Amino acid sequence: MNISVLIKQYFSSISDDITIDVFDEKNIYDVYQRVVGVLTQYIDIETTVLQAMSYCFYEILDNVLTHSGKELGTVLTHYDSTNHVLSFLVADDGIGVQASLSENTEYAGISEPDALKICIKDAITDGKGMGFGLYSTSLLARDAGLVFEVRSGKHTMQVQDGVEETKDSDFWQGTIVYLQLHTNKEINPADVVANRANVAAQYNETFLNDNELTELW
C-alpha cells in the first residue's frame, strides 16, 4: 500500500503529527485503544464526539478484516487542535466495496457507483456483518462531520456540507474510508448509533478513570 499517496491526497496541508498504524487481527484492539486513548488526552475535544467516534472507528477497522479479503489495514490520524478538526483515514488494498457487496446475492451485478451509494445505508451487507458500521459513521458525519468519503475502485462517495455525491476518482485497489470531524461540537452519541448501543458508557468504561467519570456528572 502506497502510504505516501494517501498522505498527499488526504493530508497534503499537514506537515507533521500524522499518526500511521498498521493493524491486523492480533493488534486491532491495541491500535484502537492507542488512537482513541491519545485523543482522550485533549481536553478541548468534546467527550460526546469521542464517545460516538470511538464506536464508529472500531467498526471501520473491523470492516477491513471482515470484508476486504485482506489480513492487514492501515489507519492515519491527525488532530488539528487550533481548528478543532479530527481527521482519520482507514485503508485497505482488498477486493473493494462492489466485489464485497456482490457476495450477497441480493446485490449481485451491482455497479460500483451504486455500491458506494448504498454501502452507507442501514443493514446493507455482504452477509458477513450487520451492515451498521458505515451507516453509524454516516450518522456521525451528519451530526459532527466536515467531510465523509468512501472510495473504492474508480469512484468516491462523498458527503460534504450535507450534500452527498458519487463521482469518478483515481483508481484505488481496495477501500478508503475518510472522515473529518468538528471536535468542539456537542452531539448526542446515542443518535449516532440509532439508540442500538450505549456507546457513552462503553467509551467511559474503557477510556475514563473514576475521577474523570465523576467530573462528567
Render pLDDT for 21-49 as a digit per residue (tens, 0 to 9): 999 999 999 999 999 999 999 999 999 99
The per-residue pLDDT for range 135-169, each reduced to its tens digit, is 999 999 999 999 999 999 999 999 998 899 999 99
Q: Which helix (H) or strand (E) holds 59?
A: helix 47-67
Asked if residue 171 lies in contact with residue 202, where contact means CB atoms within 8 angstroms, the answer is no
DSSP state of 10: H
- pLDDT at residue 16, rounded to an integer: 73
pLDDT in tens, 187-215: 999 999 999 999 999 999 999 875 554 55
DSSP 69-127: S-S-EEEEEEEETTTTEEEEEEEE-SSHHHHHHHTSGGGTT--HHHHHHHTTSTT--SS
Which residues does 212 contact at the CB level (< 8 Å), separation at least 6?
Answer: none
The Cα–Cα gap between 157 and 106 comes to 21
Q: What is the CATH number of the domain that holds 117?
A: 3.30.565
Per-residue pLDDT band at 130 (split at 50, 70, 90): confident
Other beta carbons less than 10 A from residue 204's beta carbon: 17
Between these two residues, 111 and 15, which has the higher pLDDT value?
Answer: 111
Considering the domain boundaries, does residue 15 fall inside one? no
Which residue in the block uniquely carries the three cell numbers 485482506? 70
Tell me whether residue 17 is in a domain.
no
The verdict on residue 6 lying in a domain is: no
Note the pLDDT tens digit of each residue in 61-113: 999 999 999 999 999 999 999 999 999 999 999 999 999 999 999 999 999 99
Mean pLDDT value across residues 1-30: 90
Rounded CA separation 59/132 (Å): 8
Domain count, the chain: 1
Asked if residue 185 is part of any domain, the answer here is yes
Q: Which domain holds residue 192?
A: 42-208
**Considering the domain boundaries, does residue 213 fall inside one?**
no
Residue at 26 is within a domain? no
